Chains A and B, each alone.
Chain A
Amino acid sequence: MKKPPLIGFFAAAIAITALAAAIWIFQNTFSDFDSQSEREAAFQAEAHYGVEIMGAPTTPTVLTDALDYHGRPAEIACATCHTTRTPAATRQSEDLDAFHQGLIMQHGDLSCLSCHNSENYDTLKLADGTPVGFEDTMLLCAQCHGPQSRDYRNGSHGGMVGYWDLSRGPRQRNACTVCHDVHAPAYPQLMPVFPPRDIIPPKDTVHSEH
């Protein structure tokens, strides 16, 4: 039998090397991907920690300048006056002669009774008149500000502190009213942190400030 030519031997060696290289490349390229089962296992989270809403309003009281026995200003419930007196028919707080003069009202075209319940001033009311407690203030916000409320519930509005992974720890969020004053909700301007202090070249070269 004739001996196979040398070139056949080399061709076979090259082909085997190429195949081995291809397998090695394939394995190294895809070795970083998790297997499907690994990923699914990660989602079988056991205990879920909760999301706590901080700063939700409570039924407010008005502070008077009278002091109680302990030296603290006396607090009276809204109903104390609002069941015994007739509220002034005005939206301008400057026209009032007792209480609420300092209240700045800048909430679009809303009137006081858009949210406050004239039948029980210790509650608020939804658009259809249903009374709700002050703890549910966020419901009222959501009535008109649906997109923001939806964003808030889905985490893209209002911020959070704590854990992104609720299987490992809890999270705290702010109620709407923590950032937005209910009567003048526009987010205020603030002074920013100082600008970046880039490495300033020394005096014998050009400065970088405008």
Chain B
Amino acid sequence: MVSYPKFIWRMCVLATEGNWLFYAWMIGLTAVALVGVNAWAVQVTEGMGVTNMSDHVSWGLYIANFTFMVGLAAGGVMMVIPAYLYHNDDMHDVVIIGELLAIAAIFMCIGFVVVDLGRPDRFWHMIPGIGKFHFPVSMLTWDVIVLNGYLLINLHICGYLLYNRYRGIAPNPRWYIPFVFISIAWAISIHTVTAFLYQGLGGRPFWNTALLAPRFLTSAFVSGPAFIILALEVIRYLSKYKVGDGAIKILVNIMRVTILINLLMLVSEVFTEFYTGGSHTASAKYLYFGLHGYNALVPWIWTSVGLTIIAAILLLSPKVTQKPVMLITACVFAFVGIWIEKGMGLIIPGFIPNTLHEIVEYLPNSLEWRVSAGIWAAGLIIYTLAIRVAMPIFSGEVSLEKDTHA
């Protein structure tokens, strides 16, 4: 335990070192994050009226991003199953990348929720005991519990493994294996609970479908592996650490299945809406074809469908793991396609038409884009720093032994 402070200090120093590309990346991200912080400060001071949200569309880009990021956090754990359940050695060394993604994603989720609150200063009202925590009736309270729990589990696992690797000690399975298995089940729960937030609202027929939670899970298991593959490619090409093909092959295999299931569920939703008809399907009509001349979201959703289909076709090709350009394209397309589908393509149409069947459209304004970009930048900062610290330790390049003899 004497070496723990030394470990933390070493992490801090290591996190601020790198080549010119690293510094450029981090400074750029910091600049974007500061722009976002400023935009948020303006929002808190002047009120949320500076966004484009209204009493008709009262959740917008922030909650759209939040929903997507919960999926990303859940998907980050997708590598854990083959690594630990099936003792796949290829995965074992890179599984930390997925768990670190989960940590960064949860921080972003918290960020998006905080910027969406009208009174972030009253955050303490949610703390059980001091405030009033409306558990178990309010699904938001379940979400608070599962998201924070997931963060703590992953912080523990990653911290424990990194600390022991740094010290050169084999980690004691008793202190992390149970948590890993918990995190697998917990990852399913975070996204199911988030889906339940929307699913349970009878007044919003676009969301009030049993298929929402399964759709959330499959899209999470597309976006998560896509991002991890992109991260692995970045590590492979922009740093000196070797990343084997095995992990990427497994992730591609996962995506091949989940992207098709995702498309199938989309078809199922679309069929139910358009075959039945009636005024409960007005939101779907608005999203896909426009309603009464209002069609702001139509290009978005068709772009998403197109990107997802192209990504599916690319992924299904046997050559995708040998051609990096094809792989990266497929992953970027899948990621963006899911972002649109789950974010703008799910949250906004739930509010259009509103509960009185009126149409008031919404597209985010520049302040909302700035705040969101700021949180994305902050999340990427956290993730970059985490990888910057984890890779040297896991490859043995940085260790306590080397530091004490340096």
Contact = CB atoms under 8 A, between A and B. Distances in A.
B84 to A, nearest CB: 34
Nearest to A204: B365
A32 interface: no
A205 B365 contact: yes
A106 to B, nearest CB: 36
A198 B365 contact: no
Nearest to B54: A199
Interface in A184-206: 198-199, 201-202, 204-206
Interface in B28-64: 49, 52, 54-56
Given A201-B52, A202-B52, A208 B365 contact: no
Contact of B363 (A198, A199, A205, A210): A205
Contact of B55 (A198, A201, A207, A210): A198
Given A206-B294, A206-B296, A199 B362 contact: no
A198 B54 contact: yes
Given A201-B365, A202-B365, A208 B55 contact: no
Contacts, number: 32
B361 A206 contact: yes
6 contacts: A202-B365, A204-B366, A205-B52, A206-B294, A206-B361, A208-B359
A44 B363 CA distance: 58
Contact of A205 (B55, B293, B362): B362
A208 B49 contact: no
Contact of B361 (A201, A202, A204): A201
B contacts with A: majority SS: loop
Interface residues of A, number: 10
Nearest to A200: B54
Nearest to B363: A205
Interface of A: 198-199, 201-202, 204-208, 210
A202 B366 CA distance: 11
Given A201-B365, A202-B52, 18 more contacts: A198-B54, A198-B55, A199-B49, A199-B54, A199-B55, A201-B52, A201-B361, A202-B365, A205-B52, A205-B296, A205-B363, A205-B365, A206-B361, A206-B363, A208-B359, A208-B360, A208-B361, A210-B293
Nearest to A202: B365
Contacts of B52: 201-202, 205
Contacts of B359: 208
A206 B290 CA distance: 13
B134 to A, nearest CB: 14
B56 A201 contact: no
A201 B49 contact: no
A5 B52 CA distance: 66
B56 A198 contact: yes
A210 B362 CA distance: 15
A102 B189 CA distance: 78
B360 A198 contact: yes
A205 B361 contact: yes
Nearest to A199: B54
A201 B52 CA distance: 6
A151 to B, nearest CB: 28
A68 B54 CA distance: 63
Residue of B52, B296, B359 most packed against chain A (CB within 10 A): B52
